[in-house]
Amino acid sequence: MHMFTSLSRVLIVSAAALSPLAHAVTPAEQLAGYTAQAGAAAQPARGQQLFTTRHGKDWSCSTCHTATPTVDGKHASTAKVIAPMAPAFNPERFTDTAKTEKWFRRNCNDVMGRECTAAEKADVLSWLLTLKR
C-alpha cells in the first residue's frame, strides 16, 4: 500500500509540474509554463543564439527556419515549406501544446542530439515573441 501511495504522489506532483503547459493556448501561456518549469526568467538573446548556432550536429534551427524566422523556411532534406516560426507572423504557432512539445522534441534532437530543457524552450520562445511586424 505504501508503494502505491508514493507512486500516486509522484504522479500528482508530475501532473502539477506540467499543468502550466497542459492548458496553454497562447504562445505567452506556453512561455509562462516553460519559465515556471525552468525556475528562471527566459533570456531572448540566449534563445536567438541557440536558434542560430550549430550544436555539434549538421544543422541549427535556422538551417530550416531561417535566421529570420519571420518568413517561410524550407526543410533542408525534404524542401517542404515551413511557415514562419515567429507568432506575430504566423498566429497558429505555439497555440497547441502537444504540437509544440512534439516539434521541440523532434527538432531539438535533430539539432542538439537531445531534448531541449524547459529553459532552452523558454529562451527560444521568448526570442520569437520579440519579433514583431
Pull the grid cell for residue 61. Answer: 534551427
Q: Which residues of 26-53 are buried (b: 16+ CB within 10 A; e: fewer)?
A: ebebbbbbbbebbeeebebebbbebbbe
pLDDT band at 3 (very low <50, low <70, confident <90, very high): low
- Report all structural domains of the chain as residue ranges with CATH numbers, in order of start: 2-130 (1.10.760.10)
* In the block, residue with C-alpha cell 502505491: 4
Distances (CA, A) of 15 to 18, 36, 40, 116: 5, 14, 20, 19
pLDDT band at 57 (very low <50, low <70, confident <90, very high): confident
pLDDT band at 56 (very low <50, low <70, confident <90, very high): confident
The predicted model gives 49-64 an average pLDDT of 91
Q: What is the overall mean pLDDT for the chain? A: 86
pLDDT band at 35 (very low <50, low <70, confident <90, very high): very high
pLDDT-above-90 percentage for the chain = 75
Pull the grid cell for residue 72. Answer: 517561410
